[in-house]
A and B are shown apart, each in its own frame.
Chain A
């Protein structure tokens, strides 16, 4: 009996493994995009396929939103008969894989499938993958990675193909602008309140530093567990601190935000709130809970370019999005920023060669307009990286007047860059870098902070 069992099992195992092995075959990259892209006759239709990867979690709203945008970008390029790069028309194939939510196993599987099996050479846009795992796949395989990283894991001088196209490094200008706004309104003390996530673990301390810079007295941040169901305890704690301003710096779940504001209203907190990222629909929901008066005069960040962005191309993209998928949503729109950097690099170099592109990106001296304002890459002399690999992303500011979100202005790249350097206390290495390489030039935007403020 026992022997038979073993025979059957061994046979079954051999069969299954054999079938799997044969089915997968040698999963050699089936790329048709040779580096350089040989010049062929620019015919009517696309002649080559350019595969670009994006690693997002498809069980988060942001990831699903990004999937829509990126698919749309590929569609637009393909409708125009392909992307003309160096005389070759490329059909764009955006490969979007589910990277899980901070899951090392799923991240690795997704990257390896894209890189090792599909032959993707460019990863543009990521969301909730684990960048530390990602670079272990992309770096040895010479794949350009233009992703999102909140942690400093990808900030290493030895990385050749890693561009932090979205990160928290130079993101404090936005915080500073907001904090200044409230300081001007009379706020003196403030507390940051956040979900217990990677983003808040990395960001809260820095956020507080920029608050100090803006003239706020920042109390110890309050973090609450991600599975908090009711926010009355959080609100009670905030109320007991008697602060002028509550900053929801990195609360990403809209329902949490609405519940927090409602709970603060219920306990009778009546000072300022920085609500972070909200959209008009959410504002309507908040108003239905707490009334118009409560939210009057708040200011925060948002991503809808209409009413503030002047580039018709970007506005056309938003229109196109609304045609394809209905109403614009705020979640994913910010995190697709890397695509515009990539597009710019490809168009400027007329190449899809990873080395050419990285060289261009690492010596970039100007900002690139995205749907959410200018993004620019900078060097990180404080950690020994002299190439421009770290980004200062754009942001829009809004103000709530009469229950409506009113676009105020753009947070400038200059502010993002300089405030972050000052707040993080790394002015010295940057001074030295500027002396050797000259000060960077910034896009034309209104700024609050200048070199003289360092």
Chain B
């Protein structure tokens, strides 16, 4: 039985990888762009799913995403820096500013963290818009596309693979982190703060580490965003975008911290685009779809899929899942 599953697993996995790699050749530039967007949204969702594992919901994902984008944009235009050099700087800026702010919020628990996030989301957007240095509401633009040697990332296919690189880096880091010793401590905190602190885990410090890592990756996503967007405008990084990020995670399935956000992002990148024909009714239809999904698939699309898949693919052993709780041990990684 074991070998059989192993082969199937490898085969299916290989097919999936092949499909992902071949996608930009199977579709046109517009669809490729939507996949690039999916990856961006997916990375944002990943960072939300990451902090949720220590019981902290972030409502400021888009703000730090913006911090990354603006850092890259400003360093590239004002300091004439190369795109690649701005990546670590963006991450560090986001972590440093985040550290100052979260020193206040994290020790005060989940609800304060949540509301603090909203204030940050609003404040950072206001900062970018009202302060001349950041280019005002019109935003800041970057002229040149990132390049390594002769390879310029200006076409959709190049950007798609650049995005895959970023996404892969995200996934590997998150996966490794969750498997490490620190990851187990995070899981413990996510399950019960009381229990975790009773076994000697410094909850505040571990949460801080988690949130700052998430900040780093958010900023990195922002830098990647600049690579294909070339323009940073404050309205792109508002509170509504942070709410969208939560939607990706919930729609995908909050218990699946690696694949869930990607699936959710895929759905929410494509559904509104296919609804474009509905013009002014598009946002209403998308909202109704979201309500229906949340009501009828409370564990997200992945939760539903794995529930369906059980009878014919996985019937040999009872599937043990955490049902309907965001803070219980998520099933993955």
Contact = CB atoms under 8 A, between A and B. Distances in A.
A104 B141 CA distance: 11
B8 A98 contact: no
A1 B317 CA distance: 8
B139 A104 contact: yes
B129 interface: yes
A133 B230 contact: yes
Contacts of A6: 9, 13
Contacts of B129: 196
Given A7-B5, A10-B16, A201 B138 contact: yes
Given A27-B28, A116-B30, A153-B141, A5 B332 contact: yes
B280 A136 contact: no
B329 to A, nearest CB: 12
A16 B33 contact: no
Contacts of B319: 1, 4
Contacts of B331: 5
A58 B266 contact: no
B34 interface: yes
Contacts, number: 169
B204 to A, nearest CB: 31
Contacts of B30: 24, 27, 112-113, 116-117
A225 B137 CA distance: 12
A10 B331 CA distance: 15
B236 interface: yes
A105 interface: yes
Given A7-B5, A7-B12, A133-B230, A24 B28 contact: yes
A3 interface: yes
Contacts of B314: 4, 8
B282 A197 contact: no
B20 interface: yes
A17 B137 CA distance: 36
Interface in A126-179: 130, 132-133, 136, 150-151, 153
Contacts of A113: 30, 273, 276
Nearest to B236: A104
Most buried by A among B6, B138, B139, B305: B138
B232 A104 contact: yes
A154 B33 CA distance: 23
Contacts of A132: 138-139, 141, 230-231
B259 interface: yes
Contact of A16 (B137, B231, B266): B266
Contacts of A103: 233, 235-236
Contacts of B37: 105, 109
Given A8-B314, A116-B30, A196-B130, A14 B138 contact: no
Contacts of A21: 19, 23, 26-27, 31
A97 B12 contact: no
Contacts of B276: 97-98, 110, 113
A35 interface: no
B233 A27 contact: no
A8 B332 CA distance: 12
A18 B12 contact: no
B270 interface: yes
Given A58-B279, A113-B30, A102 B9 contact: no
B245 to A, nearest CB: 13
Given A18-B19, A27-B28, A132-B141, A7 B235 contact: no
Contacts of B16: 10-11, 13-14, 17
B322 interface: no
Contact of B280 (A27, A67, A116): A67
Given A21-B27, A133-B229, A8 B279 contact: no
Most buried by A among B137, B229, B309, B332: B137
Interface size classification for chain B: 35 or more
B320 interface: yes
A26 B28 contact: yes
B183 interface: no
A130 B141 CA distance: 11
Contact of B259 (A9, A108, A198): A9
Interface in B234-286: 234-236, 256, 259, 262-263, 266, 270, 273, 276, 279-280, 282-283
B306 interface: yes
Given A104-B229, A198-B137, A98 B280 contact: yes
A34 to B, nearest CB: 20
Contacts of A108: 33, 228-229
Contacts of B231: 104, 130, 132-133, 136
B95 to A, nearest CB: 24
A450 interface: no
A105 B309 contact: no
B152 to A, nearest CB: 13
Contacts of B282: 58, 98
Nearest to A151: B138
Nearest to B332: A5
A316 to B, nearest CB: 26
Contact of B28 (A104, A116, A198): A116
Contacts of A102: 137, 139, 233-236
A119 B320 CA distance: 50
B29 interface: yes
Interface string B305-333: 11001000110010110000000000110
Nearest to B316: A4
A202 interface: yes
Given A58-B280, A102-B137, A3 B23 contact: no
B229 A14 contact: no
Contact of A3 (B5, B15, B136, B228): B5
Contacts of A101: 235
A64 interface: yes
A150 B139 CA distance: 12
B302 interface: yes
Nearest to B318: A1
Contacts of A28: 28
A38 interface: no
A14 B9 contact: no
Contacts of B235: 100-103
A20 interface: yes
A50 B163 CA distance: 35
A209 B220 CA distance: 42
Contacts of B332: 5
Nearest to A113: B30
A16 to B, nearest CB: 7
Interface string B58-83: 00000000000000000000000000
5 contacts: A4-B314, A25-B27, A112-B33, A113-B30, A150-B138
Interface of A: 1, 3-14, 16-18, 20-22, 24-28, 58-59, 64, 67, 96-98, 100-105, 108-110, 112-113, 116-117, 130, 132-133, 136, 150-151, 153, 196-198, 201-202, 225
List 7 tightest A-B contacts by C-beta distance, closest first. A27-B28, A102-B235, A198-B137, A21-B26, A151-B138, A58-B280, A116-B30
